[in-house]
């Protein structure tokens, strides 16, 4: 932790999350080196024994330390808890990347209240040797370095990432639909890319390497820890339709806090143009 950071009531939770994320990262990296079983979880969606083993480790270690906390994991773990705090965990975000031997995957551990308020986030990228973390009001950090979003304020200089889609019955069809809907925006920005791991996109945004991230059809564990980090780095989020939003809503724009309105306007203009064409 940064020595300049003031203590908070969540320090015990943060220390535990950092330790457990590191242990889970070591475990999944060992699986990646030595091999693992893979099975289909859905159409175009995979789960590996590394995902399931890492989630069991994280749940065991965190609930041993905080037995009254709740727990929600991507691979099915659920404990209601009584403390008012819930751990929200994705043991490997970017499973497809992981399964192909790539390095863009992360262990994601977030903590929220029952009202949805995000308390902290820790994301460990074991293949990259990096850990990102943040607590509410305490700043966002990576390896002792405080994070800050970019100051890019021109849409035509924006580097934008978009999520891929795997949680529908027809992921390829849905992906094409989303790309078509977003294409007018991508015509106006400098570059856009798909990394295949929301945690990677959110951390890149938090440290100013990209300027915005669009995501659709996701679950809370995909973004909760990343949002904790991005928010403390000065980022913001908004619904793709311009409405106020939280990280538990769908169809979001995470951005550097500067160009959100321009992104929403580009998306809405595209929608208005489609409606005009459809009415002719």
Q: Does CATH place domain 11-146 in 3.40.50.800?
A: no
Residue 156 tokens read as 């035509």
User: In Å, how far are 23, 125, 146 from 30, measured between CA atoms?
Assistant: 11, 13, 29
Which positions ≥6 away from 239 have C-beta within 8 Å? Answer: 245, 249, 251, 252, 253
Structure tokens at 174: 């849905």
Rounded Cα distance, 222 and 253, in Å: 14
Residue 207's closest CA among 145, 118, 128, 124? 145
| CATH number corresponding to 155-279 | 3.40.190.80
Cα–Cα distance for residue pair 263/261, rounded to 1 Å? 5
Q: Where are the domains of the chain?
A: 11-146, 155-279
Per CATH, 11-146 and 155-279 having the same topology is answered no
**Taking every pair of C-alpha atoms in the chain, what is the biggest distance, in angstroms?**
63
Separation in Å, CA 275 to CA 26, 272, 278: 51, 5, 5
Q: pLDDT tens digits for the chain (280 residues)?
A: 443 555 677 999 999 999 999 999 999 999 999 988 887 775 556 788 999 999 999 999 999 999 999 999 999 889 999 999 999 999 999 999 999 999 999 999 999 998 889 999 999 999 999 999 999 999 999 998 999 999 999 999 999 999 876 555 666 777 777 778 888 888 899 998 888 899 999 999 999 999 999 998 888 999 999 999 999 999 999 999 999 998 888 889 999 999 999 999 999 875 544 443 333 3
Is 159 within 8 Å of 189 (Cβ atoms)? yes
Question: Tokens 């700043």 label which residue?
Answer: 139
């Amino acid at each position: 932790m940064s020595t300049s950071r003031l203590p908070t009531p969540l320090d015990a939770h943060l220390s535990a999350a950092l330790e457990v994320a590191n242990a889970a990262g070591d475990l999944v990296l060992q699986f990646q080196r030595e091999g693992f079983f893979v099975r289909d979880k859905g159409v175009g969606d995979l789960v590996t024994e590394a995902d399931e083993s890492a989630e069991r480790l994280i749940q065991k270690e965190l609930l041993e330390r905080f037995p009254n906390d709740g727990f929600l994991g991507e691979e099915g773990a659920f404990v209601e808890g009584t403390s008012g705090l819930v751990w929200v965990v994705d043991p490997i975000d970017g499973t497809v990347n992981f399964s192909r031997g790539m390095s863009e995957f992360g262990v994601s551990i977030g903590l929220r209240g029952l009202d949805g308020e995000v308390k902290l986030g820790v994301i460990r990228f074991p293949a990259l040797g990096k850990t990102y973390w943040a607590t509410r009001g305490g700043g966002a950090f990576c390896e002792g370095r405080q994070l800050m979003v970019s100051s890019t304020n021109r849409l035509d200089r924006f580097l934008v990432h978009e999520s891929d889609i795997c949680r529908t019955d027809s992921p390829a069809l849905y992906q094409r639909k989303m790309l078509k809907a977003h294409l007018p925006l991508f015509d106006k920005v400098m570059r856009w890319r798909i990394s295949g791991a929301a945690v990677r996109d959110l951390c890149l945004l938090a440290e100013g390497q990209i300027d915005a991230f669009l995501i659709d059809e996701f679950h809370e564990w995909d973004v909760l820890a990343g949002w904790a980090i991005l928010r403390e780095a000065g980022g913001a989020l908004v619904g793709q339709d311009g409405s106020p939003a939280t990280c538990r809503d769908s169809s979001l724009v995470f951005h550097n806090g500067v160009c959100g309105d321009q992104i929403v306007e580009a998306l809405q203009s595209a929608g208005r143009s489609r409606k005009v064409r459809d009415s002719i």
